Amino acid sequence: MKTIEIRITGRVQKVGLRNCIRHIAGKLCIKGEVMNLPDGSVKIVASGDPLTLDKFSSMIYGCPRALVREMEICEIPFRSFADFSVVRSIE
């Protein structure tokens, strides 16, 4: 098990991306959270099996209406989550 942090830029807010990501995570049994950031990007923290996390990150490109320009992925210290949730942004 490992945890990754993904930062996504492009047309990624107000297009249903967070719900799409939550749906993908549910299908793959990924735990974590996704949130909008004030700079217009989206941040994901996801925990799971390394191969499943690779599949998860590649499936994000298939979310409709979103235009992913760049996706930065880095491994961070393991975090345990009960489920996968959408965190409401504070703006």
Digit-by-digit pLDDT tens for the chain (91 residues) are 999 999 999 999 999 999 999 999 999 999 999 999 999 999 999 999 999 999 999 999 999 999 999 999 999 999 999 999 999 865 5
Residues that are catalytic: 18, 36
From CA 36, how far away is CA 64, in angstroms rounded? 17
What ranges do the domains of the chain cover? 2-76
> pTM of this prediction?
0.94
Phi-psi region of 30 (alpha: psi -120 to 50; beta: other; left: phi over 0): beta
Topology of the domain comprising 2-76 = Alpha-Beta Plaits (3.30.70)
Task: Give me the DSSP letters along 39-54.
Answer: TS-EEEEEEE-HHHHH
